[in-house]
Structure 1
């Protein structure tokens, strides 16, 4: 019996062996067998005696080009996390080192993103791919978030789903680039790998579309490069053929026209060859800056119910192409399939939302189109899977809407939600399910600032990371899971966007052409209100989009101060020579017009004012 005990203790660890033998488990043994705290949690952890200690002599050992890329990113993140400068070296490892390995021969066990981590007198991180090794370094960063020691042990950690994402509509209400860069870092830290962005890039081919709400191509190149370094694929979306108003509001020739002659600036006329040529030209232009192998065309909410009846040209088009039994929705599917073929010829896989697939069509959607399922319609996820579509779970239950619905993360955790649970249907297995994503929408654009959105996002992000990578319920309670998330902290390199770089109080603000005196007060979300004798400065007037004045040139005037009004909140951004004032919601800078009145403008359309602040 003594020999049996010794063998069990060696093979299974102290706590497990004593439990099997019916003996009481000491507290120290229980702690030893528990996996160290990470998000996602480690479901496979074999403890060993002792611990690894990170110290001043630690080096990152990497040989191949892929290994060295991973090691250099880790070195930068260790420095950002306060661990000092760690050299990247070649050669033999010694005690205290961290060894990064990419071994293609391990693909059978580790797949495309799995990794093995061994901690003893040194740490060995091995992936079959560069992405796998990189994700292993994220675990190490989390283990070092609580000190310089890592318990000795081994894990083989492989994701359950290959797409683990966040979707962001930066399509109407602009979102700052630093905010998106923070999101990429947080996603990578928690092993999320897909950022799906509906957004507008400033167009050279179609300058008439360059109203506000766009990003420059250089900004997108910068974001895509960060995503590539952190193994987050950034998938672009231009929603079509509905929701096209950011692009065609100044192109009435492309707008769908109803029987009363009324043009619909949000709907592309899918019966016109010029409309298809216009849309595919945007795909080509986006390919200049996006490197993703996917193209998201949206395809949601083009027609609602019987709206097709108001556009008889769509039915005529469908019957001309597909015969007398064709339906108006066949014309819609025809547009989707033509975009699919165009994207495929460019080496990109098409993605669409599911709500347009109501079953009213006779023409099938190309089977290798990925469908992101967010809304319960007659054609459910099970039937879509049977037709050969890959499915991403984009359930409405995972949404966070500015000033509206927020995902009940605690409720989802307690229900043990995982990506098999779609709106209206739970599939019995995970076949054909690529993964899941959170979706951020600006339906009431002024309902929250982006800093407030971040507060609501982080719990949901960590929960989704857990549910798509491993066991969706690693802790007995949601409080236990949130404690786990708090323990691993924020990603290295994340910028604190809530810091006010000036002291609160009364200041005189001067820029060539004007000056005014205002009391600067920090808001709870890290912006500032500018309270003058006449009221608080606010963007007011002009055309509203999603309840936000997004037109360049809109006046900035004093209004009655209201702590809840996000349009009265300003980012005070330090720049060379002074400060820039940027509205927290419209993301446009304020400066004087030729007549001295204050107006907002995008920073690439008019040189932004530099303000000097003098405390009074």
Structure 2
């Protein structure tokens, strides 16, 4: 893909986006509303002010809230210098904070909703433990700006169920401590899904007992993963693992060259596995069955993107007659070559379901009218490109099924639009990185990469969006430099996925974001 082609596509989609916005200005926060990132849904002023006590207590009404209360007290002490202690209880004095759960008036019934009642004692009430945690994040952001808060009540909840960060650790290994720092940042911004792309061009980053030959020198041990999962849970972050099949398998296939996809003219792909070879399924099954139990979350991401993209070369099913023969032998004489790919998705999805999880894939291999098979409607589709493969890989145009079509077929989707949700470190596609002000002003999660916008009814099947960090050239930025570079894009995605009202102009949003800062602990 040329830099000029990508740049032209970015320009086209941003024009489309501004038109797609319909000329309707984003809602702005009312003057006087307490400043947080993301901004608050509702603020009703009135009543006594709250002044954080110099020796304040964070009282928690249930043992399930103890860890959240303890972390909140420690962060609050670090941010303000006041002496803050967490302890069980429900009856606070002036200057204390009470953390509890229960019905949140005037909010939808969802576990992440919360209410902050500001009086001489502050009450943080979550609909569930997740909401209670988010109440502490908003309270911390407010109290680090000033320790006296005007009386009133905050009612807040997310617009989208998934508010995510994806990190491409397959191409560029990121140390565990850096992942922990991003989890803390996610909790601070009320992001709830960490998608880790564990395998790609430069390595398979999980420590395999069944196939130690595929494990990269830089990798995560199983104990690393267990501790990371537990750490993420403290911040209400769920980890979604991805091991990409049947493309982007360089890190695995380097140890299994006999399984690489070969064309009729003898060209060998370093990235794609031969899905006509039964031994390929043995290897993929081994990987799935070894690592699925390691992750307790709801999802497993199967990848399924860019299968026939070999480096910068786009190939065609016609170049691999063994795939067409396999499809007909497996799925009947009417089967098309793409059915072998669709059948692989269903095969992997069955293994994922058997392990109590829900499968996810990328969208680009799903073409309008292609194949005789359908994939399971419970599969979540992360929608990044309208192009699909085999085609010239420009993500803004093409024959891939539309978001609306996938929703009509029964799928839930996540908006992973190449622009503006991608941050690419290095390589020609980095030119598509959209500046944070443009993403803030012209985009929201209902607007997809091809410029189409979901209707409100369709958008009920849109799980959300986030920031997708790809390390196409791992020599360009260190993990620490990437973490700095995504500071404002991640804040913007947190705002757009949590939902309106926005914090006025981008300049006002940036000032607000600087005021609430990064997590203190």
- TM-score bracket, normalised by the shorter chain, equals 0.7 to 0.9
Cα distance change, pair 472–444 in 1 and its aligned pair in 2 (3 A) = farther
Say if 2:315 is the partner of 1:303: no
Quick one: distance in 2 between partners of 1:311 and 1:33? Answer: 63
Find the counterpart in structure 2 of residue 64 from structure 1.
62
Find the counterpart in structure 2 of residue 344 from structure 1.
353
Q: Is the 8 A contact 1:51 1:119 kept in 2?
A: yes
Q: CA deviation at 1:76?
A: 2.9
Quick one: distance in 1 between partners of 2:411 and 2:323? Answer: 26
Q: Pairwise mapping of residues 375-524 of structure 1 onto structure 2 (< 5 A)?
A: 375-377=385-387, 378=399, 379-397=401-419, 398-403=421-426, 404-405=430-431, 406-415=433-442, 417-424=443-450, 425-429=452-456, 430-471=459-500, 473-475=502-504, 477-493=505-521
Q: Is the 8 A contact 1:271 1:313 kept in 2?
A: yes
Q: Is the 8 A contact 2:445 2:496 kept in 1?
A: yes
Q: CA deviation at 1:347?
A: 0.8
The 10-residue stretch of structure 1 (248-257 or 192-201) with the greater mean CA deviation from structure 2:
248-257
Find the counterpart in structure 1 of residue 235 from structure 2.
230
Q: Is the 8 A contact 1:418 1:472 kept in 2?
A: no
Find the counterpart in structure 2 of residue 614 from structure 1.
none
Q: Is the 8 A contact 2:45 2:150 kept in 1?
A: yes
Q: CA deviation at 1:242?
A: 0.4
Cα distance change, pair 33–463 in 1 and its aligned pair in 2 (3 A) = closer
Quick one: distance in 2 between partners of 1:260 and 1:195? Answer: 41
Q: Is the 8 A contact 1:173 1:213 kept in 2?
A: no
Cα distance change, pair 479–46 in 1 and its aligned pair in 2 (3 A) = same
Q: CA deviation at 1:195?
A: 0.7
Q: CA deviation at 1:361?
A: 1.8
Find the counterpart in structure 2 of residue 170 from structure 1.
169
Quick one: distance in 1 between partners of 2:434 and 2:169? Answer: 19
Q: Pairwise mapping of residues 151-190 of structure 1 onto structure 2 (< 5 A)?
A: 151-190=150-189
Quick one: distance in 1 between partners of 2:278 and 2:411? Answer: 27
Q: CA deviation at 1:362?
A: 1.9
Q: Is the 8 A contact 2:107 2:157 kept in 1?
A: no
Residue aligned with 1:45, SS: strand
Quick one: distance in 1 between partners of 2:293 and 2:332? Answer: 39
Q: Is the 8 A contact 2:466 2:494 kept in 1?
A: no
Larger fraction in helix: 2
The one of 195, 201, 206 aligned to 1:201: 206
The 10-residue stretch of structure 1 (159-168 or 352-361) with the greater mean CA deviation from structure 2:
352-361
Q: Is the 8 A contact 2:113 2:156 kept in 1?
A: yes
Quick one: distance in 1 between partners of 2:56 and 2:287? Answer: 49
State the structure with more CA Rg. Answer: 1
Quick one: distance in 1 between partners of 2:79 and 2:289? Answer: 39
Say if 2:149 is the partner of 1:150: yes
Q: Is the 8 A contact 1:352 1:370 kept in 2?
A: yes
Q: TM-score, length-normalised on structure 2? A: 0.84
Cα distance change, pair 107–75 in 1 and its aligned pair in 2 (3 A) = same
Q: CA deviation at 1:288?
A: 4.4
Quick one: distance in 2 between partners of 1:84 and 1:474? Answer: 29
Find the counterpart in structure 2 of residue 561 from structure 1.
none
What is the aligned-residue RMSD (CA, Å)? 2.0
Find the counterpart in structure 2 of residue 11 from structure 1.
none
Quick one: distance in 2 between partners of 1:69 and 1:188? Answer: 14
Find the counterpart in structure 2 of residue 8 from structure 1.
none
Q: Which runs of 5+ in 2 are unaligned?
A: 1-28, 199-204, 388-398
Q: CA deviation at 1:136?
A: 0.7
Cα distance change, pair 85–281 in 1 and its aligned pair in 2 (3 A) = farther
Cα distance change, pair 285–270 in 1 and its aligned pair in 2 (3 A) = same
Q: Which runs of 5+ in 1 are unaligned?
A: 1-30, 494-616
Q: CA deviation at 1:489?
A: 0.6
Cα distance change, pair 211–303 in 1 and its aligned pair in 2 (3 A) = same
Quick one: distance in 2 between partners of 1:140 and 1:43? Answer: 14
Say if 2:128 is the partner of 1:129: yes
Q: Is the 8 A contact 1:52 1:123 kept in 2?
A: yes
Q: Is the 8 A contact 1:249 1:266 kept in 2?
A: no
Q: CA deviation at 1:472?
A: 6.1
Cα deviation code 1:205-246 (max 9, x no counterpart): 111112334222222222211101101111110011101111
Larger fraction in strand: 1
Find the counterpart in structure 2 of residue 368 from structure 1.
378
Q: Is the 8 A contact 1:33 1:46 kept in 2?
A: no
How many corresponding residue pairs? 461
The one of 212, 221, 229 aligned to 1:216: 221
Say if 2:45 is the partner of 1:47: yes
Q: CA deviation at 1:82?
A: 4.7
Q: Is the 8 A contact 1:106 1:127 kept in 2?
A: no
Q: CA deviation at 1:264?
A: 2.5
Q: Is the 8 A contact 2:56 2:96 kept in 1?
A: yes
Q: TM-score, length-normalised on structure 1? A: 0.72
Quick one: distance in 2 between partners of 1:490 and 1:215? Answer: 26
Q: CA deviation at 1:78?
A: 2.2
Moved over 3 A (4+): 82-85, 104-110, 260-263
Tell which has more relative contact order, 1 or 2 (C-alpha 8 A, sep 6+). Answer: 2
